[in-house]
Structure 1
Amino acid sequence: MPRDRDEPVRLTRIYTRSGDAGETSLGDGSRVSKLDPRIGAYGTVDELNSLIGVVLAAPCPDPVAQVLARVQNELFDLGADLSLPWSGEDDRLRIAQPSVDALEADCDRFNESLPELRSFVLPGGTASAAGLHVARTVCRRAEREVLVAAGEAPVNPLAAVYLNRLSDLLFILARVANAAGGVAEPLWRPGATR
């Protein structure tokens, strides 16, 4: 049965055995080592997406959940973007400036209602806030891995920018989750354990 036009992929069998020798295919069909930095970068983006799924599976404030649902789809777009060699001149699925702009608008919107920070925030509080902090740290790692990949092969320059903004948003959303849960943010108290 032919695939529908708006059906992005059809997987009839999950295992292929084609990667057993340590190689995999990029989105254009070219074969590379599974140790290729692009594979590492989009693998970490996938890990980040999975962590966001964990946050969404737990009680999470509705406004936060709505943004995270959009971000999950964008992270899949980003993974697809990283799996395709970058030429800068094609019309394939790519992370573009409007996605970065939306993250910035979300940062401004959610941060507006939060109290001013007077100390560094320790990861924790509600379960959703703690999960968002874990996602934030994986997002930073994904950003670093995208930069490594960009040093080896052409990569969409907005991929790292998107992840940089997303890590800021995840931090803000963790603060929002704690505020919505009525939980005081755990703050860093330098030297408190001495």
Structure 2
Amino acid sequence: MTVNLTRIYTKLGDGGETHLGDMSRVPKTHPRIEAYGEIDELNSHLGVLLCEPSLPAAYAPWLSRVQNDLFDLGADLSVPEPETPAERERLRVDPAQVTWLEERCDEVNATLAPLKSFVLPGGTAAAAQLHVCRTVCRRAERRAILVEDGSPEVVRYLNRLSDLLFILARGANHETGTAEPLWKPGASR
């Protein structure tokens, strides 16, 4: 599948509408646009994270794969399910992409001590940025749920990805021997 972008500005969105992948036009505030806009923001935060020197080296190829998968999610969301069989096959998120996330979750979680409290975002810079990515991912998930005929695989992917980002944040602190910041209920009372 090739994408050719010959011109970046088209002026077609100047009136507050945009095209979906099936060429239908919707307001830029449409739930589909909101959902894949949040996914785009998450992808940008992952790009920042990949520049962070404290990120464990093993995580970089995983997160690069996730970045590519996030474009798949956006493509899936950008094309509503057709009422009649489509003329051509559309890119849809595959359950195997969710399974891959689950495998990474299990792989890293097996190296971590059981939690004794809720984790506060922080520790290393990479762990803190992973938590930012996790919260943006949760927001993208909430937006994807609002897409009435959206793919359940998109929601499953985002749900599992936020779990992975949490586990990777814990792993980033563990890998560097940085103490995990934990919530101490009522500590400042």
Same fold (TM over 0.5): yes
User: What residue in structure 1 maps to residue 4 of structure 2?
Assistant: 10
Gaps of 5+ in 1: 1-5
Could you tell me how far apart the structure 2 residues matched to 1:46 and 1:127 are? Answer: 22
User: Of 133, 139, 161, which residue of structure 2 is paired with 1:166?
Assistant: 161
CA deviation after TM superposition for structure 1 residue 137, in Å: 0.4
1:17-36, CA deviations, whole angstroms, 9 ceiling, x for partnerless residues?
10000000001111111010
User: Of 34, 42, 66, which residue of structure 2 is paired with 1:71?
Assistant: 66
Q: Aligned runs of 1:1-194 on 2, under 5 Å?
A: 6=1, 8-59=2-53, 60-87=55-82, 91-150=89-148, 154-194=149-189
Find the residue that maps to 1:69 and give its secondary structure.
helix
Could you tell me how far apart the structure 1 residues matched to 2:78 and 2:34 are? Answer: 10
CA deviation after TM superposition for structure 1 residue 64, in Å: 1.1
Which amino acid in 1 is paired with 2:73? L
Which amino acid in 1 is paired with 2:119? V
CA deviation after TM superposition for structure 1 residue 87, in Å: 4.2
Could you tell me how far apart the structure 1 residues matched to 2:82 and 2:144 are? Answer: 16
Could you tell me how far apart the structure 2 residues matched to 1:58 and 1:165 are? Answer: 23
1:99-157, CA deviations, whole angstroms, 9 ceiling, x for partnerless residues?
0111111100110000110100000011110000000001000000011122xxx1111
Find the residue that maps to 1:149 and give its secondary structure.
coil
Could you tell me how far apart the structure 2 residues matched to 1:107 and 1:120 are? Answer: 18
1:162-189, CA deviations, whole angstroms, 9 ceiling, x for partnerless residues?
1000000000000111111221110000
Which amino acid in 2 is paired with 1:32? V
Which amino acid in 2 is paired with 1:63? A
Identity of aligned residues (%): 61
Gaps of 5+ in 2: none
Which amino acid in 1 is paired with 2:60? A
CA deviation after TM superposition for structure 1 residue 63, in Å: 1.2
CA deviation after TM superposition for structure 1 residue 12, in Å: 1.9
Find the residue that maps to 1:18 and give its secondary structure.
coil
User: What residue in structure 2 maps to residue 3 of structure 1?
Assistant: none
